[in-house]
């Protein structure tokens, strides 16, 4: 007999009706109701029975259940108090799940990891992230240098494309650089909106991020590097020289900006989208050194 998995339209409706649960738009709640998509997420996540897994926003437990079956231990962060009794019910038979009732953006994830996983255990983050807050969550998880090997996340298709984009493409921007500074990024699968309840307005993608041991470039100061990258894309149609002149308007005039660009052989008439990460590092380091 097939297990009665949570991720089906009927089972999801049954659970929601039992608890009279109403979706909160403000929390970006869209629950997965397709077991095949979950199997694909699990397949791409690279987890096994030795792995520890972290989930953000378990909802009613569809993905959490599959993580519990396929990994050693699951820790799931859930912000919505109304879902706690539902999760207790739907996941009651699994002894390897811990639900943390906390906003992931405010959580001390390092201490949660040391409390719940054994030292040296391979840890993977696997989540269907709420669209409205994908980037802040992801950047927190990447910038805190957590001891995780990979992140396999379902996010809005357009955002996934931006995170994995290469230079000289329409999707490439400061988000591409930020994500690829910390990880190797690949869109591994597209997911139609029809597999969610309620249906979102856009399609999703599964993005696989494998943590780098070291960033691919050396920068003098990470925050400074990211601020230069963002400034270079501030107005996409403007040249690098114009965007940087605007960024440094209180410190340098256009002539000084041009001079620094010439020193490192970067043509100021180029646009931000044409620079690769090595060139951005060169750019940021040159301006940073000038300011010291």
Feature table: binding site for S-adenosyl-L-methionine: 30, 32, 57, 78, 103, 128
Give the containing element (helix H, strand E) for 91. none
| DSSP characters over 51-73 | -EEEEE--TTSHHHHHHHHHSSE
Report residue 96 as tokens. 């390897």
Residue length, the chain?
Answer: 292
Contact 96, 72 (CB under 8 A): yes
Rounded to whole angstroms, how far apart are CA atoms 288 and 220?
A: 7
62: which 2 tokens? Answer: 């569809």
Known binding residues are 30, 32, 57, 78, 103, 128
Label residues 76-88 b or e (16+ Cβ within 10 Å = b): bbbbbeebeebbe
Angle between helices 174-182 and 157-164 (to 10 degrees): 70
């Amino acid at each position: 007999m097939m297990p009665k998995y949570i991720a089906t339209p009927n089972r999801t409706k049954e659970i929601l009706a039992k608890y009279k649960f109403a979706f909160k738009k403000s929390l970006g709640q869209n629950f997965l109701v397709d077991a095949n998509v979950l199997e694909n997420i699990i397949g791409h996540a690279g987890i096994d029975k030795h792995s520890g897994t972290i989930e953000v926003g378990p909802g009613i437990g569809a993905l959490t259940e599959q993580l519990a079956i396929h990994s050693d231990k699951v820790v799931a962060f859930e912000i919505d108090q109304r879902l706690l009794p539902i999760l207790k019910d739907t996941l009651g038979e699994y002894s390897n799940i811990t639900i943390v009732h906390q906003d992931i953006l405010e959580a001390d994830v390092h201490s949660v990891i040391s409390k719940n996983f054994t030292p040296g255990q391979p840890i993977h983050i696997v989540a269907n992230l709420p669209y409205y807050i994908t980037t802040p969550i992801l950047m927190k998880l990447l910038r805190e240098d957590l001891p995780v090997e990979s992140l396999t996340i379902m996010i809005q298709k357009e955002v996934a494309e931006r995170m994995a984009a290469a230079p000289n493409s329409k999707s490439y921007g400061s988000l591409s650089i930020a994500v690829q500074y910390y990880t190797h990024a690949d869109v591994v699968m597209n997911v139609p909106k029809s597999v969610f309840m309620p249906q979102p307005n856009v399609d999703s993608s599964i993005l696989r991020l494998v943590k780098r041991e070291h960033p691919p470039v050396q920068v003098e100061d990470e925050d400074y590097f990211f601020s230069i990258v963002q400034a270079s894309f501030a107005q996409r149609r403007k040249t690098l020289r114009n965007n940087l002149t605007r960024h440094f308007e209180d410190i340098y005039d256009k002539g000084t900006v041009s001079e620094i660009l010439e020193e490192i052989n970067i043509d100021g008439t180029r646009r931000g989208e044409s620079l690769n990460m090595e060139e951005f590092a060169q750019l940021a380091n040159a301006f940073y050194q000038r300011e010291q």
